[in-house]
Amino acid sequence: MTNKPSVKRRPRWSQRPADEGWRRRMYDIIFEADDPAGKWFDIGLLLAILASITIVSLETVPAYRENGALLNAFELVEWVLTGLFTIEYALRLACVRRPMRYAFSFWGIIDLLSILPSYITIFIGPSSRSFVILRSIRLLRVFRVLKLWRMMDEADELSNAIWRARNKIIVFVVVVLVAVTISGTLMFHIEALTADGINTSSQFTSIPQSMYWAIVTMTTVGYGDVVPQTAAGKMISAVLILLGYSLIIVPSTFVSAEFVNQATHRSSHPCHYCEAYDQREDATYCYRCGKRLDG
Amino acid sequence: MTNKPSVKRRPRWSQRPADEGWRRRMYDIIFEADDPAGKWFDIGLLLAILASITIVSLETVPAYRENGALLNAFELVEWVLTGLFTIEYALRLACVRRPMRYAFSFWGIIDLLSILPSYITIFIGPSSRSFVILRSIRLLRVFRVLKLWRMMDEADELSNAIWRARNKIIVFVVVVLVAVTISGTLMFHIEALTADGINTSSQFTSIPQSMYWAIVTMTTVGYGDVVPQTAAGKMISAVLILLGYSLIIVPSTFVSAEFVNQATHRSSHPCHYCEAYDQREDATYCYRCGKRLDG
Amino acid sequence: MTNKPSVKRRPRWSQRPADEGWRRRMYDIIFEADDPAGKWFDIGLLLAILASITIVSLETVPAYRENGALLNAFELVEWVLTGLFTIEYALRLACVRRPMRYAFSFWGIIDLLSILPSYITIFIGPSSRSFVILRSIRLLRVFRVLKLWRMMDEADELSNAIWRARNKIIVFVVVVLVAVTISGTLMFHIEALTADGINTSSQFTSIPQSMYWAIVTMTTVGYGDVVPQTAAGKMISAVLILLGYSLIIVPSTFVSAEFVNQATHRSSHPCHYCEAYDQREDATYCYRCGKRLDG
Amino acid sequence: MTNKPSVKRRPRWSQRPADEGWRRRMYDIIFEADDPAGKWFDIGLLLAILASITIVSLETVPAYRENGALLNAFELVEWVLTGLFTIEYALRLACVRRPMRYAFSFWGIIDLLSILPSYITIFIGPSSRSFVILRSIRLLRVFRVLKLWRMMDEADELSNAIWRARNKIIVFVVVVLVAVTISGTLMFHIEALTADGINTSSQFTSIPQSMYWAIVTMTTVGYGDVVPQTAAGKMISAVLILLGYSLIIVPSTFVSAEFVNQATHRSSHPCHYCEAYDQREDATYCYRCGKRLDG
pLDDT tens, D241-286?
887 777 666 666 666 666 555 555 444 566 666 666 566 666 777 7
Å from B88 to nearest chain C CA? 31
Residue B260's alpha-carbon distances to A162, A270, B49, B161, B167, in angstroms, are 20, 21, 33, 11, 16
Report the interhelical angle of B166-192 vs D231-266 (nearest 10°). 130
pLDDT for C207: 92
Confidence band, pLDDT 50/70/90 cuts, at residue D9: very low
Q: Do B222 and A225 touch (CB under 8 A)?
A: no
CATH of domain B5-146: 1.20.120.350
Confidence band, pLDDT 50/70/90 cuts, at residue A8: very low
Å from D20 to nearest chain C CA? 35
Confidence band, pLDDT 50/70/90 cuts, at residue D82: very high
Confidence band, pLDDT 50/70/90 cuts, at residue D226: very high
Once rounded to an integer, what is the mean pLDDT over residues D25-37?
79
Once rounded to an integer, what is the mean pLDDT over residues D227-232?
92
**From D265, which residue of chain B is nearest by alpha-carbon distance?**
B281
**From A139, which residue of chain B is nearest by alpha-carbon distance?**
B185
Distance between CA atoms of residues D178 and B87, nearest Å: 23
CATH of domain A166-250: 1.10.287.70
Once rounded to an integer, what is the mean pLDDT over residues B96-119?
87
B267 pLDDT exceeds 60? no
Å from D27 to nearest chain A CA? 36
D88 pLDDT exceeds 80? yes
Please give the angle made by the CA atoms of A155, A159 and A163, to the nearest 5 degrees.
170
Chain A contact for D223, CB < 8 A? yes
Å from A264 to nearest chain D CA? 14
pLDDT for B269: 60
Distance between CA atoms of residues B199 and C186, nearest Å: 45
Least confident of C208-222, D120-134, D163-177: D120-134
Give the nearest partner residue to D249 out of B152, B220, B255, using CB atoms: B255
Q: Do B287 and A280 touch (CB under 8 A)?
A: yes
Beta strands at B193-194 and B197-198: parallel, antiparallel or unpaired: antiparallel
Å from B261 to nearest chain C CA? 14
B269-290: pLDDT as tens digits: 667 677 665 666 566 777 667 7
Which chain C residues are closer than 8 Å to D291 by Cβ? Answer: 290
Confidence band, pLDDT 50/70/90 cuts, at residue A187: very high
Distance between CA atoms of residues A265 and A277, nearest Å: 8
A123-166: pLDDT as tens digits: 776 555 566 777 778 788 888 888 887 777 666 766 777 777 77
D240 pLDDT exceeds 60? yes
A12 pLDDT exceeds 70? no
Chain D contact for A222, CB < 8 A? yes
**From B286, which residue of chain A is nearest by alpha-carbon distance?**
A287
Higher pLDDT, C46 or B124: C46
Chain B contact for D235, CB < 8 A? yes
pTM greater than the 0.90 cutoff: no
Q: What is the pLDDT tens value at each position of chain C, 295 positions in all?
A: 233 333 344 454 556 776 667 888 888 888 776 778 888 888 899 899 999 999 989 988 888 888 888 989 998 999 999 999 999 999 988 888 888 888 888 888 888 988 988 888 887 765 555 667 777 888 888 888 888 877 776 666 667 767 777 777 777 778 888 889 999 999 999 998 877 777 888 899 999 999 999 999 988 899 999 999 999 999 999 988 887 777 666 666 666 666 555 554 444 466 667 766 566 656 677 766 777 776 5
Chain A contact for B182, CB < 8 A? yes
pLDDT for A138: 79
Å from B248 to nearest chain C CA? 17
pLDDT for D8: 43
Higher pLDDT, A196 or D258: A196
Would you tell me which residues 78-137 of chain B have a C-beta closer than 8 angstroms to some C-beta of chain D? 131-132, 135-136
Chain A contact for C219, CB < 8 A? yes
Q: What is the DSSP letter of D3?
A: S
The domains of chain C are located at: 5-146, 166-250
Which chain B residues are closer than 8 Å to C221 by Cβ? Answer: 222
Higher pLDDT, D66 or D224: D224
What percentage of chain A reaches a pLDDT higher than 70? Answer: 75
- The overall average pLDDT reported for chain D is 79
Q: Which chains touch B (3 or more CB pairs under 8 A)?
A: A, C, D
D211 pLDDT exceeds 80? yes
CB contacts < 8 A (A, C): 140
Which chain D residues are closer than 8 Å to A222 by Cβ? Answer: 221-222
Phi-psi region of B197 (alpha: psi -120 to 50; beta: other; left: phi over 0): left
Q: Which chains touch D (3 or more CB pairs under 8 A)?
A: A, B, C
Q: Do B223 and D222 touch (CB under 8 A)?
A: yes
Q: Do C220 and A217 touch (CB under 8 A)?
A: no
Which chain A residues are closer than 8 Å to C135 by Cβ? Answer: 189, 193
pLDDT for D18: 67
Higher pLDDT, A261 or C228: C228
Phi-psi region of D290 (alpha: psi -120 to 50; beta: other; left: phi over 0): left
Give the nearest partner residue to C57 out of A207, A220, A234, using CB atoms: A207
Distance between CA atoms of residues A140 and A138, nearest Å: 5
In this structure, what is the dihedral angle of CA atoms D123, D129, D135, D137, given to the nearest 10 degrees? Answer: -40
pLDDT for C3: 34
The answer to ipTM > 0.90 is no
Confidence band, pLDDT 50/70/90 cuts, at residue D51: very high
Distance between CA atoms of residues A272 and A282, nearest Å: 16
In this structure, what is the dihedral angle of CA atoms A195, A201, A202, A204, given to the nearest 10 degrees? Answer: 110
Distance between CA atoms of residues B193 and B187, nearest Å: 9
Least confident of B56-65, C165-174, C180-189, D217-226: C165-174
Q: Do C220 and B220 touch (CB under 8 A)?
A: yes
Which chain C residues are closer than 8 Å to D222 by Cβ? Answer: 220, 222, 224
What burial letters (b/e) apply to D133-152, b meaning 16+ CB within 10 Å? Answer: ebbebbbbbbbbbbbbbeeb
Confidence band, pLDDT 50/70/90 cuts, at residue A20: low
Q: What is the DSSP letter of A197?
A: E
Once rounded to an integer, what is the mean pLDDT over residues A184-199?
85
Q: Do C257 and D255 touch (CB under 8 A)?
A: no
Identity of residue C243: L
Residue C123 burial (CB count, 10 A): 6
Give the nearest partner residue to C189 out of D139, D148, D252, using CB atoms: D139
Q: Identify which of B221, B223, B239, B222 has the alpha carbon closest to the alpha carbon of residue B231.
A: B239
Would you tell me which residues 42-71 of chain A have a C-beta closer than 8 angstroms to some C-beta of chain B? 53, 56-62
Once rounded to an integer, what is the mean pLDDT over residues D203-215?
93
pLDDT for D252: 64
**From B224, which residue of chain C is nearest by alpha-carbon distance?**
C223
Q: Do D139 and C258 touch (CB under 8 A)?
A: no
Q: Which chains touch C (3 or more CB pairs under 8 A)?
A: A, B, D
Mean pLDDT is highest, among A206-215, D89-98, D187-196, for: A206-215
